[in-house]
Structure formats: C-alpha cells, structure tokens
A and B are shown apart, each in its own frame.
Chain A
C-alpha cells in the first residue's frame, strides 16, 4: 500500500491498484477513457519520474521528459504527487531586472530567476488578480534571468502596462511553467524551427537548449514577418548561426528586398518548396494561430510525424 497526493490531499493506493482507480474510488473527478493505456485521456504528470516510468509506454519523448504518465497504467510502489496535465502551479512574486525595447513594438523583459522549467515552456504573468497574460520563456535555466519577449499592442491592457508603466525594480506575479513545446529530440535528428513575431521567444530558447545539449544535426530557423523592421534579434541570430556550423537562419518577409539570408515570399509557399520532405524532422511552430495550424498540417502532409511537431500558439492580437 502507498499514497498518492492529488490537489493537496492524500489518497491510499492499494497493492495492484492504479492511480486512476484509487482517485476514482475516492470520488475524485479525473478524466479517463479506455483504461487500457491507449487513448491517453487519463494522462497526468508526476513530481518524480521513477515511480511512473512503467506507465509511460506509448508516450512521446516530450511527454516522458515532462514526467507525464498514464494513470490507468500506473501501480505505484512508493508515494508520489500527481497533477492533471498542465495544471497551473502556485503564483509567486518576481522582480523585474531589466526592460529593453528590442524594436518599435517588442520589449524584452528579464525577471529574477528561481523557476524550474524547460526552455520553450510558458508562464502566466499578472499585474493583479484581474489582468494576466501568457508569455513564453526565451531564456535557458542556466541564464541568470527569466527572459520574455512582449509585443506592445496599443489597445492591449497588459502589454501597455508593461510598455508604459512597469520598470526595473518593480515586481509582478508569475505562475507556471506550462506547456510542452520543449527540446526533446535525438542529437542527430534535423530540427526545423518556424516562427512569426514573438514566436521567436520560445524558438530562441529551444535552439540554444539544443546546442547546449550537443545537438549535431542541422538546426534550421525560419523567421516570418512583414518586413525587416518587424524582426528583432537579427544580430543575435546571425551570431548564433556564425558560431555553429549546423545552424542556419533565414528571414522570410512579405515585403522588402531579398538579401543574404532574407527572402521575400509567401511563408507557406516557401516552406512547401524549401521543405518538400520532412520525414524524420523534429519541427517547432511558434506564433499566431493561423500560421501554426496551417503549417502544422502542411508539415504533417510533407511526412513529419504528429509527435515530431511541437507547437506554441499565441492568442489573437485583439485579446492582448
């Protein structure tokens, strides 16, 4: 017999009983489906990987890396704490270390570190109980800060507060991390990273994380934007590509003139022509909803496996 901790309470798990059955027996409401380890409806995440390892058959590398497991397959031998996948954690107050304008519309916010996360995950930032938004982490856990890229929408309450009122030394509330758009690939698997706008934030984290972990296969970054003025971190990206033989970066713009590493083209057409065969690739798509959804389908049709496509979708501009 052991115990499972769920939403702050402890529940007994009998020998041979699964985590799912123990929670259901105690009257907890948790999602489930086939109870045979196939449909993934009952997927949860655990505080520790060891007790749930035998309940990870059929999960993707990304899911395993985040300690996800199937509660209908898990008969734990030792106590563990579980959460419904992507349950938000506690809120904490963090200090603003730095605020810098990266372009006319994008601000970089660096906050005091002290969060355990994987690059590419996101957090909720809040001004107060009424106003909060999700932003992706652009930093690595080894950086002495948490970095976010925030696009300022003149009509957006939260981003206007960041742009006009928040200063270094102030604090804001942070809740997370969330999401599963993280580096989880074989070192010799080619990576394709496609982003629009501040979709660069998670990609910037993921690309550097891949390099930090010794990724050897090509890492291809494609940034889509209206014009070059839209694209921040140009020098940083060029420096990254210059420093690593396996990294290339291309900007695909709607307007302007083609130049070295800059193409003027429709991004969907560009991807079709440039990447007709994506079997075996690990793909990251970050940015606006239409961009992500269209390219996800396109990449899947070009041969990429569903599990090799990770996405991070941003809310519509109107709601920010």
Chain B
C-alpha cells in the first residue's frame, strides 16, 4: 500500500493542500514561485505535487519533472524550503513520523530531476 492510501487518499491531500499552500506563500525563500493571480490553478498544481509526493496516482516521469522545473533554476535551498514546509504541514495534520519519512523519501527520489542536476 502506498503512503497515499495509508494516510487517506484524496481526502488527505485535500486536508493538506491549503495548509501547505499558505505556508509556501508565507515563506520568503520560495513564495515568488507560487504567488500568481490564479490561485485556483495554483492550488491544483499544489495538489498534483502533494499527490505525487504521497505516492498517489499520477503519470509524471522523472523527465517530466526535469522539463517542468528546468526553467526555474532551482537550488538546494529552494528544495529544502519546500521539504520543510511539507514536513511542517504533515506534522500539523498529525501524520505519523514513519509516513513522513516515506514521503520525504519520495521527494528525495526526484530531487536531482527537479534541480536539473
């Protein structure tokens, strides 16, 4: 079973997405990447990110991640900021530590693609 299923599937993503989005917008290190006028669209993107990070249904490949983030010129600091906000969100929702570790593992598995390394 994926972490996605273990923590409650789409319902868990729904519970997390606004909390995560709020944290990201308040984080000066990365807020500029996400501060667009179309918040509905941005929220859907955040959901796509969380669903993927939880190991839920998606058809993204490593190549997609590389292509999708290349133009952003992301650094280690950006990646860490996203990871920290994600962990804080999961802790706020009382997700057990072992699942958080698994989720961080999934994020790390695409880190090189996201940072285009």
Closest to B40 in A: A306
- Interface size (B, Cβ < 8 Å)? 23
The distance from the CB of B12 to the nearest CB of chain A, in whole angstroms, is: 13
Asked whether B111 is an interface residue with its Cβ less than 8 Å from the other chain, the reply is no
Query: Which one, A33, A37, A58, A296, contacts B39 given CB within 8 A?
Result: A296
Answer whether A34 and B22 are a contact pair too, CB < 8 Å, given A57-B10, A306-B43, A307-B40: no
Chain B residue contacts of A25, Cβ below 8 A: none
**Would you give the 0/1 interface string for B19-48, flagging 1 where the beta carbon is closer than 8 Å to chain A?**
001100110000000000101110111011
Bound state CA distance, A39 and B40, in angstroms?
Answer: 11
Chain B residue contacts of A301, Cβ below 8 A: 22, 25-26
Answer whether A35 and B22 are a contact pair too, CB < 8 Å, given A57-B10, A296-B39: no
Bound state CA distance, A38 and B37, in angstroms?
Answer: 20
Asked whether B57 is an interface residue with its Cβ less than 8 Å from the other chain, the reply is yes
Chain A residue contacts of B10, Cβ below 8 A: 57-58
Chain B residue contacts of A145, Cβ below 8 A: none
Bound state CA distance, A91 and B99, in angstroms?
Answer: 55
Specify the main secondary structure of chain A where it touches its partner: loop
**Would you give the 0/1 interface string for B47-87, flagging 1 where the beta carbon is closer than 8 Å to chain A?**
11001000011111000000000000000000000000000
* Residues of B near any A CB (own CB < 8 A): 10, 14, 17-18, 21-22, 25-26, 37, 39-41, 43-45, 47-48, 51, 56-60
Chain A contact patch, size range: 20 to 34
Answer whether A40 and B25 are a contact pair too, CB < 8 Å, given A34-B58, A34-B60: no
Q: Mark out the residues of chain A between 264 and 320 whose CB falls within 8 Å of any chain B CB in the assembled complex.
A: 293, 296-297, 300-301, 305-307, 309
Closest to A308 in B: B18
Q: Mark out the residues of chain A between 40 and 66 whose CB falls within 8 Å of any chain B CB in the assembled complex.
A: 40-41, 57-58, 60
Query: Which one, B18, B21, B25, B51, contacts A38 given CB within 8 A?
Result: B51
The distance from the CB of B20 to the nearest CB of chain A, in whole angstroms, is: 11
Asked whether A36 is an interface residue with its Cβ less than 8 Å from the other chain, the reply is yes
Chain A residue contacts of B18, Cβ below 8 A: 300, 305-306
Bound state CA distance, A39 and B47, in angstroms?
Answer: 7
Please determine whether A300 and B58 come into contact, CB atoms closer than 8 angstroms: no
Chain A residue contacts of B47, Cβ below 8 A: 38-39, 58
Answer whether A36 and B45 are a contact pair too, CB < 8 Å, given A58-B10, A306-B39: no
Please determine whether A40 and B39 come into contact, CB atoms closer than 8 angstroms: no
Bound state CA distance, A41 and B25, in angstroms?
Answer: 22
Please determine whether B40 and A33 come into contact, CB atoms closer than 8 angstroms: no
Chain A residue contacts of B43, Cβ below 8 A: 306-307
Candidate in A38, A41, A58, A60 with the most chain B CB atoms within 10 angstroms: A38
Please determine whether A38 and B44 come into contact, CB atoms closer than 8 angstroms: yes
Answer whether A300 and B40 are a contact pair too, CB < 8 Å, given A35-B59, A39-B48: no
Please determine whether A40 and B41 come into contact, CB atoms closer than 8 angstroms: yes
The distance from the CB of A304 to the nearest CB of chain B, in whole angstroms, is: 9
Can you report 15 A-B residue pairs in the complex whose CB atoms are below 8 A from each other? Answer: A34-B60, A37-B57, A38-B48, A38-B51, A38-B56, A38-B57, A38-B58, A39-B47, A40-B40, A57-B10, A58-B47, A60-B40, A300-B39, A305-B18, A307-B43
Query: Which one, A36, A41, A57, A305, contacts B58 given CB within 8 A?
Result: A36
